[in-house]
Each structure stands twice: as structure tokens, then as C-alpha cells.
Amino acid sequence: MIKEWFATWFNTPYYHLLYRHRDLNEARSFIDNWLQAHPLPNNAHLLDLACGRGRHAVQLADNGYRVTGIDLSKENIAFANNHFAREGLNFVQGDMRDDLGNRQYDAVVNLFTSFGYFNTQKENQQVFDNIFQALKPNGCFLFDYLNPNTLSHINTNPETKVIDDVRFDILRRIEGEYVIKTIRVEDRGNTHTFYEKVKLIYPHTFREMLKTSGFTIEQEWGNYQLSTLNTGSSPRYITLARK
Ligand SMILES: C[S@@+](CC[C@H](N)C(=O)[O-])C[C@H]1O[C@@H](n2cnc3c(N)ncnc32)[C@H](O)[C@@H]1O
């Protein structure tokens, strides 16, 4: 069976090399901004859904919360367990389309476009339904996605980056409802090709989807500094929704 692209690309060290500027510092600053604006109850239990290598989960745990990180990638979970796991901070492999538990968490976060990968709207909605079910009553969901309104000026010229002697040739294009990135990697004479395919889901669709799952939207922001959302120009669509 051919693996879905997101089960392959995020599981490679090359994803982490290419996105290495998306680091612990960026995560710390965003989490600090969020917790300042929205403190959580003491002893809150959080789920970082699609936690990657755990950069946000660590910051949440450093703030005194109990945190579980779930990610599809075996390699990411192994990395997070080796580097960050401790009492009150654990990581498990799992698929966000599967049951995430029942009334377990005070907050769920899904950050840095860890969504929009699936082929059907049914799967997308299922994830929001799973999150709703996994939250305790009055629990909250912090969601951070790209803002497709700003992608119309996407750079479709090929781009080359060399990082630690690894060459990345990147091509972006918009095809139908998806933004597709082809990443050709050349590493010590070996070449590999990976894809990213993310659905252009607009803020108005997310509002509908959240409502359908039962959420009430409390706040919307447009960047990691938590500036007010401008749907036409903000780089991110960040929302805080309440069960
Ligand atoms: C763009 S990365 C972001 C990771 C992390 N949130 C961060 O900010 O560093 C997306 C993550 O989603 C995970 N992922 C993809 N599909 C998933 C699924 N179906 N269930 C759970 N995690 C998934 C990937 O393995 C990857 O770690």
C-alpha cells in the first residue's frame, strides 16, 4: 500500500532540517502569549495533537501543566520521548482521525498547520468531533492554521536551499483546493522526493466546522503575537474555541 504523504514526509529528518527555524523558541513565545491571554486552571491536562517532536508540549509542561502529545510519526514520538518526556509529559503515537478519548482534557491544541492533509471533508470533521469529545465540559481548543487568503501571491518560482550540505529544491503550486509543495532532496549523492499537500480551508469554513462539532468560538487571531485576525492579510488563522 502506498503511504499517505503526511505519514512519510513528517517522519523524515529532512522535514526537521528544512523547518529547523520553527523551533523551541518560536513555540515558547507563542505558548507564553497564549497562556498570558488565557490562563488555564492549575493542574490542567492538555493534549498537543499532532505534536511533532514536542516543541509546544514542552513549553506547556514547563508552565506546570500535565501534557500528552500525540503524533502519527513514529520517529517524532521516539524523538520526543528521548528528549523531553518526564513525569507529567508523555508522548504516544496515534492518528487524529481515531478516537482521542472522552472528557479527558482541559485543553487541546493543534498547531502549525497540523491539519488539512486528508482527502475528504468527512475526515476533517471527524477530527474536530474527536477533539470535542476528548475535552472536558468547558474545555478549550486552540487551533492554528495557515490563512489561505494570503496564499494567492504564492511564489511559484523554484526555490533552492542548502542546509548542512543537504540541498532542497522546492516547487509550490496551487491545484484546485490544495497547495502542493514538491520537495526534492539531494543528500550525499542520494535524491528523494517528498510532497506536502494542504487543503485551502478558509476561516469561514473552520467557523462552520467548529460549530458543527458543538464548539463556540471565543477568539480569533492572525499571528503568533496574537494580533487581531484580518482575514484578508493575516498570515495565520488562530482560533480559541470552547466546548
Ligand atoms: C507541520 S507538522 C507540525 C508539528 C508540530 N505541531 C509543530 O508545530 O512542530 C505536522 C505534524 O502532524 C503530524 N500528523 C500528520 N498526520 C497526522 C495524523 N493523521 N494524526 C496525528 N498526527 C499527524 C505529523 O506527523 C507532523 O508531526
* Judgement on whether residues 142 and 212 belong to the same structural domain of the protein: yes
Distance 52 CA to ligand 1 centre (A): 5
* Judgement on whether residues 20 and 65 belong to the same structural domain of the protein: yes
* Judgement on whether residues 187 and 210 belong to the same structural domain of the protein: no
Torsion of CA 234, 38, 40, 46, to 10 degrees: 0
* Judgement on whether residues 164 and 238 belong to the same structural domain of the protein: no
* Judgement on whether residues 87 and 103 belong to the same structural domain of the protein: yes
Nearest in space to 235 (alpha carbons), one of 143, 144, 124, 117: 144
* Judgement on whether residues 71 and 36 belong to the same structural domain of the protein: yes
Best mutation site among 4, 6, 108, 130 for ligand 1 pocket (most ligand atoms within 8 Å of CB): 6
CATH (domain of 88) = 3.40.50.150
Q: What is the pLDDT of residue 2?
A: 67
23 DSSP 8-state letter:
-
Name all residues whose Cβ lies below 6 A of ligand 1. 6, 10, 22, 50-52, 55-56, 71-73, 76, 95-97, 111-114, 117
Alpha-carbon radius of gyration of the chain? 18
**Does the global pTM surpass 0.85?**
yes
Q: What is the pLDDT of residue 151?
A: 83
Nearest in space to 169 (alpha carbons), one of 18, 51, 29, 48: 18
* Judgement on whether residues 119 and 157 belong to the same structural domain of the protein: no
The CB density around residue 105, as the number of other CB atoms within 10 Å, is: 24
The protein residue with its alpha carbon nearest to ligand 1, atom 8, reads: 112
Nearest in space to 50 (alpha carbons), one of 18, 7, 21, 83: 7
Distance 10 CA to ligand 1 centre (A): 7
* Judgement on whether residues 64 and 171 belong to the same structural domain of the protein: no
Distance 85 CA to ligand 1 centre (A): 18
Q: What is the pLDDT of residue 72?
A: 96
CA distance 57 to 27: 9
Nearest in space to 92 (alpha carbons), one of 56, 62, 50, 63: 50
Domain count, the chain: 2
* Judgement on whether residues 133 and 174 belong to the same structural domain of the protein: no
* Judgement on whether residues 26 and 68 belong to the same structural domain of the protein: yes
* Judgement on whether residues 85 and 157 belong to the same structural domain of the protein: no
Concatenated DSSP letters of 131-199: HHHHEEEEEEEEEEEE-GGGGGG---S-EEEEETTEEEEEEEEEETTEEEEEEEEEETTEEEEEEEEEE
Atom of ligand 1 lying closest to residue 97 CA:
19
The protein residue with its alpha carbon nearest to ligand 1, atom 10, reads: 114
* Judgement on whether residues 84 and 173 belong to the same structural domain of the protein: no
CA distance 103 to 44: 12
> Can you give the residue range of the structural domain that contains 9?
5-146+201-242
Distance 11 CA to ligand 1 centre (A): 9
Q: What is the pLDDT of residue 1?
A: 59
Per-residue pLDDT in tens (0 to 9) along the chain, 243 residues: 568 999 999 999 999 999 898 989 999 999 999 999 998 998 999 999 999 999 999 999 999 999 999 999 999 999 999 999 999 999 999 999 999 999 999 999 999 999 999 999 999 999 999 999 999 999 999 999 999 999 877 778 899 999 999 999 999 999 999 999 999 999 999 999 999 999 999 999 999 999 999 999 999 999 999 999 999 999 999 999 999
